[in-house]
Amino acid sequence: MKFLTVSWKTFENKIHRLATNISSSEKDLEIMVAIARGGMSVAHILSDFLHLPIATFTISSYKDLKQTKMSQISYGVGGSLQDKKILLVDDIQF
């Protein structure tokens, strides 16, 4: 697995640009769901820009930095997300 190291300022600038794109999309989002752990950092900053509440859940698809065959949801979101307009946030890029 290849990692890219970025400065905190670059990270924040990229998320600010993402928030601007999301805002200009005119979607009426109600809640942000962050996939823990990596998505939480991104969601925290996005939440500051977009003023959305954050819910989280955990999906495990890696063990010792190696991808497993089956992802597992470890913890769920409290409350129902049915019929909500959700922004799903993670830090993985494919």
**Selected residue with higher pLDDT from 49 and 93:** 49
Work out the percent of the chain whose per-residue pLDDT is above 70: 76
Mean pLDDT of 25-54: 89
Asked whether the predicted pLDDT for residue 51 surpasses 90, the reply is yes
Task: Indicate which CATH number applies to the domain containing 36.
Answer: 3.40.50.2020
Length of the chain: 94
pLDDT on residue 29: 94
CA neighbours closer than 13 Å in the CB half-sphere of residue 75 = 11
Q: What is the pTM of this model?
A: 0.70
In a domain, 28, yes or no: yes
The residue range of the domain holding 58 is 8-89
Q: Give CA–CA dist 53/43, Å, rounded.
A: 10
Mean pLDDT of 69-86: 70
Mean pLDDT of 49-65: 77
